[in-house]
């Protein structure tokens, strides 16, 4: 899920410039020496965006976000409250080569929210209380952190966190949401106003053999955008046509 921003911003951003290319050298009149090149001007809202380049992507925050993830993960592990990494960084931990640009997301139980926020504050992480009652936002090292109590309208439960798999995240081991739960949470977050299949498609492809697709279908039944995405996977032959053998089967550790 991206956790950097409020939900609307995160969906148009789970952030995305380049320095302007240097032009030809000009010669100072009367000297024959090349004129010094001017430093590239930064575009508002972007770091080093190329002037006039509307397609320039934002900088890759992958390593910075991973460092923040490890910092928060270490605090939560020391605290002892159950949690799981979710969203784009969870996909990264499962081996999907996603580009991290927005934030890092952690699922925690609502009853642990106070203990978690206090522990983060004590470790120098700034807590920002949002207007929503389904998450707490924080910041560290310039990166956004989301502590989520509800995934796509469904409360984070002990059972969900118990299914998490312990995986290395850039050398630090921590609980990561299971592949099936990751797909369900991402699919159920789709709506008429947020339906970017392109970001989820590589995740579904990469995890297809580790996902219990029968449970995904069951838990997303009746959700139009989720059902449309699953049908797209059938057309792309990522999944067999509904009713035939499922390549995923039971989740693997």
3-state SS string for 82-124: CEEEEHHHHHHHCCCCCCCCCEEEEEECHHHHHHHHHHHHHCC
Question: Rounded to 5 degrees, what angle do the CA atoms 93, 96, 72 make?
Answer: 25
* 109 token code pair: 């139980």
Q: Residues near 145 by Cβ (< 8 Å), separated by ≥ 6?
A: 3, 68, 72, 103, 104, 105, 106, 120, 125, 137, 138, 139
CA-to-CA dists, residue 162 to 78, 156, 177, 182, angstroms: 17, 11, 9, 14
Annotate 121-152 with b (16+ C-beta within 10 A) or e (fewer).
Answer: eeeebeeeeeeeebbbbbebeebbbbbbbebb
pLDDT at residue 244, rounded to an integer: 57
Neighbouring C-beta atoms of residue 110, cutoff 10 Å:
14
pLDDT at residue 243, rounded to an integer: 66
Mean pLDDT, consecutive 10-residue segments, the chain of 253 residues?
38 37 39 44 40 45 88 95 95 88 90 93 88 83 90 93 95 96 95 86 95 96 95 94 56 38
| Of 103, 75, 96, 62, nearest in space to 204 by CA | 96
Query: What whole-number distance in Å separates Cα of residue 146 and Cα of residue 6?
Result: 9
pLDDT at residue 177, rounded to an integer: 98
Going by the DSSP 8-state scheme, the letter that residue 154 receives in this structure is: E
């Amino acid at each position: 899920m991206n956790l950097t921003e409020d939900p609307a911003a995160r969906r148009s951003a789970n952030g995305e410039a380049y320095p302007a290319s240097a032009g030809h050298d000009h010669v100072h009149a009367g000297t024959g020496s090349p004129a010094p090149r001017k430093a590239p001007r930064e575009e508002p809202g972007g770091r080093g965006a190329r002037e006039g380049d509307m397609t320039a992507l934002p900088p890759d925050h992958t390593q910075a976000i991973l460092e923040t993830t490890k910092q928060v993960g270490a605090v939560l592990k020391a605290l002892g409250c159950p949690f799981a990494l979710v969203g784009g960084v969870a996909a990264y931990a499962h081996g999907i080569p996603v580009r991290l640009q927005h934030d890092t997301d952690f699922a925690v139980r609502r009853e642990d929210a106070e203990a978690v926020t206090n522990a983060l504050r004590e470790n120098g992480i700034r807590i920002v209380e949002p207007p929503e009652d389904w998450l707490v936002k924080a910041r560290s090292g310039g990166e956004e952190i989301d502590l989520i109590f509800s995934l796509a309208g469904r409360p984070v439960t002990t059972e969900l966190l118990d299914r998490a798999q312990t995986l290395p995240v850039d050398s630090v081991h921590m609980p990561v949401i299971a592949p099936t739960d990751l797909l369900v949470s991402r699919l159920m977050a789709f709506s008429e106003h947020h339906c970017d299949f392109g970001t989820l498609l590589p995740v579904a492809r990469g995890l297809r053999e580790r996902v219990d697709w029968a449970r995904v279908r069951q838990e997303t039944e009746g959700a139009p955008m989720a059902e449309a995405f699953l049908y797209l996977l059938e057309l792309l032959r990522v999944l067999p046509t509904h009713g035939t053998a499922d390549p995923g089967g039971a989740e693997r550790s």
